[in-house]
Amino acid sequence: GAVVSQHPSRVICKSGTSVKIECRSLDFQATTMFWYRQFPKKSLMLMATSNEGSKATYEQGVEKDKFLINHASLTLSTLTVTSAHPEDSSFYICSARAGGSTDTQYFGPGTRLTVL
Amino acid sequence: AQSVTQLGSHVSVSEGALVLLRCNYSSSVPPYLFWYVQYPNQGLQLLLKYTTGATLVKGINGFEAEFKKSETSFHLTKPSAHMSDAAEYFCAVSNLDTGRRALTFGSGTRLQVQP
């Protein structure tokens, strides 16, 4: 089956620093990747849609200058949390769409970000 | 616009009992519907999906769901619960009308399985 990886799985950083999270589709090409954020015991909230070779589309209320998304290839999208603050602490999950007509998305294992 | 409502944030069943997790959706266009399972500190794993065709969909681990258009429902069932089924379950609808294919998730249902 389709596999999506995320790196790192867990990161702790100081307030004010930037953190980059990678999302890779390992055995398929993904023209579209999605970034979600999940608060404790909550559902997933879509942050942005990442399209290869073009600018990401951000959801309302998501700061594009704070959450930088780059989709440089058909197998890699990155999310950079700039000038992180404690309120940015969360579980970040990416997904990749395999294409075709069924809209199935395959999810990465998630990245736990803790900002001190 | 799409939305998903999962009735019951927590469901507890005994091992071997029927599992029923409820999901209702609203969609302005024919929906694609999904059930995902999430184990602690992990990403989401696809259980099953409905796109078109047969309304009873069978998934992994013995789960199935039935798409009922008249009831706008896509409830998840399993005849006999296993301890390993304890997890968080999310129902989702695909956001087709914007063309971006993002998923809109329900709030999730935590399934507990008692021995």
Residue ranges of chain B whose pLDDT lies below 70: 95-100
Band (A98; pLDDT cuts 50, 70, 90): confident
Strands B109-114, B10-14: pairing kind: parallel
> What pLDDT is attached to residue A54?
83
Q: Residue B73: what are its φ and ψ, rounded to 5°? A: -125, 160
The per-residue pLDDT for A66 is 96
pLDDT at B95: 63
pLDDT exceeds cutoff 70 at A58: yes
- The DSSP call for residue B95 is -
User: Rounded to whole angstroms, how far apart are CA atoms B98 and B45?
Assistant: 24
pLDDT of residue A114 exceeding 90: yes
Binary contact (A95, B103; C-beta < 8 A): yes
User: What is the Cα–Cα distance from A44 to A41, expressed in whole angstroms?
Assistant: 10
Interchain CB distance below 8 Å, A107 and B41: no
> pLDDT value at position B3?
87
A46, A57, A108 ranked by CB distance to B43: nearest:
A108
- Confidence tier at A19 by pLDDT (50, 70, 90): very high
> Residue A111: what pLDDT?
95
Residue A46 contacts B where some CB pair is shorter than 8 Å: yes
Subunit contact A43:B49, Cβ cutoff 8 A: no
Mean of pLDDT over chain A: 90
User: Residue B47's CB: how many other CB atoms inside 10 A?
Assistant: 24
Comparison of pLDDT for B50 and A42, the residue scoring more: B50
pLDDT at residue A105 greater than cutoff 90: no
The answer to whether B94 and B81 have CB atoms below 8 angstroms apart is no
> So what's the pLDDT on residue B88?
94
Can you tell me whether residue B115 is helix, strand or coil? Answer: coil
Buried b (16+ CB within 10 A) or exposed e, A43-73: bbbbbbbbbbeeebbbeeebeeeebbbebee
Over chain B, what is the mean pLDDT?
A: 90
Question: Is the pLDDT score of A1 beyond 70?
Answer: no
pLDDT of residue A35: 95
pLDDT of residue A100: 65
Chain B residues within an 8 Å CB radius of A32: 100-101
Show the tokens assigned to B69. Answer: 């258009």
pLDDT of residue B40: 83
User: For A22-41, what is each residue's pLDDT tens digit?
Assistant: 999 998 888 889 999 998 77
